[in-house]
Structure 1
């Protein structure tokens, strides 16, 4: 089953996006998610207005909070680029969390040793390439099964995510363990050797990598012949065959490029923020970004806006959780409600369009 077979269809199969659809499928799910989340907060005896006010104050209006928000965006944007690449090609790469973690772990294992023998200008790009290769290789198995056996990529990529998370933990605890620490983790990259920050701030320059990745993917998928071939393969594989396109080769290319971008997201997080990878670390960024990409209608510019909004909620929500006694995972609850609201809105819009045609 391809992404074009789902209720959340691809842009190529949609009619022009008017004001009614904008309100119904983008704004309405956001408002519904915020209102339902407020209800959950009220049931937890937490003032929803105070919670959202603190989120905005900590994640947006304070300079320190805004810097943290922009830094948080860096890996999320790379993951958004990964998903846009796959979804616009009509394929579901739901294995990005596994690809992200494996890229992060390999960078965590290699960055510190490489920093002792290579200048920073060579070490950082090499680490990013290592992470991209790790993500691409981990996406290769679902790609081959989809391309040559027609196996449902939703199932295989989810399975590979589970295996990737488990393998990442094993690598940290056994093969890449830092013997100098009591906490299972990789060696720590010194702050001076990490991605530089933007001038007069603590914002990681990984933000620029993320923005470039999203815009580059958007340009490739909407303005190039290669992107057009990928969209044809996803929308109508039979037509692609009649047009002389190699469906298996293009399917593998999509998965590997998408996996590489997910691996780069892991590298950006380690090189720009964490400096190492601890055992059992899994921020689950991938599943959080999926509804944002759908809200953006697979548009790169819109994805940047929604990732920024989510980053505000994420950074502000972490502080609000400590201040107001809200569970630290409440941000994921909001995202889950948003995903459900988005699916319901798409269903309603689909039925509405059926009645008008």
Structure 2
């Protein structure tokens, strides 16, 4: 390429960069997929004979503008935020922990079984709740040990092992509910129900569970840990370039196990918060599948803790409002999951178009 041609290409690249700055690109690939998914969801609603504007307006009205709906939305955010924090730790370290659903549910079942017994034994409520949260985190972390060891010492793909352990965790949780932890006083298979007065306290005389505060504190702490501390820098280095981490003198196996322990522990803590703050018990065959549902949200937020808070709020509002809209407008109750699926598709498409534009700009 001659010098005039090189100059022309450089000038063109500069013009393109000015026309589409970095913040605009980040905004487009973070918010664009959300609006695209909502638009595609609207088309599906039209095909079902439902006015999409009426559906979305009803979701906003019931989940945000209504005091009771807003309280339900904020309460539901607690477990979602902890799941998001779990995924941020893993993904920023280059590890795919897709076993959060098993870690969540197994921890939830054991906390649901242990906490009523401790409450009945006369333990102070705050100690009872603290122990319940610790139990949830420990159970989640322990369930992540096997994939961690297989990844750290044998290099086995963690996507396969965490998904398998998730399946086993969900199955084991259901067996425990139906056999070892079954409440004999109910006809429907479930664990004993924790009394309302023994659950996480409400905030400021509202119906919002203090699990929201737990989720907010943890996700902000995780964001600061991953971006402002030397430990977080080591984890990110392992994820970005394991060979460089080895040359820098870092113990990749130990850091890999640490990532799994933190990520799985937070998923287990999410299960404890959901039980102690909202559910009170676990029914047989219950699996909300929060972990896989939150994956596109943290990617839309670019693995940023503060951005994840915003997306978790929007998704919580969609699930709460969607339940009401389903009853009023005749929309299937799982339509919010359709929106999540569309988010995954539009997010992947946005990433593809962004990389294609990046290569074109370079050339």
State the TM-score, normalizing by the size of structure 2: 0.93
User: Hey, what does 1:258 align to over in structure 2?
Assistant: 263
Is 1:31 aligned to 2:32, yes or no?
no
Contiguous gaps of at least 5 residues in structure 2: 1-19
Is 1:337 aligned to 2:347, yes or no?
no
User: Hey, what does 1:284 align to over in structure 2?
Assistant: 289
What are the Cα deviations for residues 22-42 of structure 1, in whole angstroms up to 9, with x where unaligned? 243112101110010011111
CA distance in 2, matches of 1:268, 1:127: 9
Is 1:273 aligned to 2:283, yes or no?
no
Give runs of aligned pairs for residues 46-65 of structure 1, distance below 5 A: 46-65=50-69
Give runs of aligned pairs for residues 83-122 of structure 1, distance below 5 A: 83-117=87-121, 118-122=123-127
CA distance in 1, matches of 2:338, 2:168: 24
Moved over 3 A (4+): none
What are the Cα deviations for residues 166-189 of structure 1, in whole angstroms up to 9, with x where unaligned? 111011001100011111000000
Q: Answer whether contact 1:230 1:250 (CA < 8 A) is retained.
A: yes
Is 1:230 aligned to 2:235, yes or no?
yes
User: Hey, what does 1:184 align to over in structure 2?
Assistant: 189
Q: Answer whether contact 1:292 1:307 (CA < 8 A) is retained.
A: yes
Q: Answer whether contact 1:24 1:349 (CA < 8 A) is retained.
A: no
User: Hey, what does 2:17 align to over in structure 1?
Assistant: none
SS of the residue corresponding to residue 209 of structure 2 reads: coil
Is 1:302 aligned to 2:307, yes or no?
yes
CA distance in 2, matches of 1:287, 1:39: 25
What are the Cα deviations for residues 180-227 of structure 1, in whole angstroms up to 9, with x where unaligned? 111100000000000000012000000000001100100110011111
Aligned residues: 342
Give runs of aligned pairs for residues 80-229 of structure 1, distance below 5 A: 80-117=84-121, 118-229=123-234
Q: Measure how far apart 1:159 and its partner are.
A: 1.1
What are the Cα deviations for residues 92-123 of structure 1, in whole angstroms up to 9, with x where unaligned? 10110111101100111101001122111111
Q: Measure how far apart 1:17 and its partner are.
A: 8.2
CA distance in 2, matches of 1:44, 1:165: 33
CA distance in 2, matches of 1:159, 1:262: 16
CA distance in 1, matches of 2:84, 2:130: 21
CA distance in 2, matches of 1:196, 1:100: 21
Is 1:240 aligned to 2:245, yes or no?
yes
SS of the residue corresponding to residue 175 of structure 1 reads: coil
SS of the residue corresponding to residue 76 of structure 2 reads: helix
CA distance in 2, matches of 1:73, 1:339: 20
SS of the residue corresponding to residue 181 of structure 1 reads: coil
SS of the residue corresponding to residue 352 of structure 2 reads: helix
User: Hey, what does 1:347 align to over in structure 2?
Assistant: 352
What are the Cα deviations for residues 5-52 of structure 1, in whole angstroms up to 9, with x where unaligned? xxxxxxxxxxx9823322431121011100100111111111111100
Q: Measure how far apart 1:280 and its partner are.
A: 0.6
User: Hey, what does 1:6 align to over in structure 2?
Assistant: none
State the TM-score, normalizing by the size of structure 1: 0.94
CA distance in 2, matches of 1:286, 1:43: 30
Contiguous gaps of at least 5 residues in structure 1: 1-15
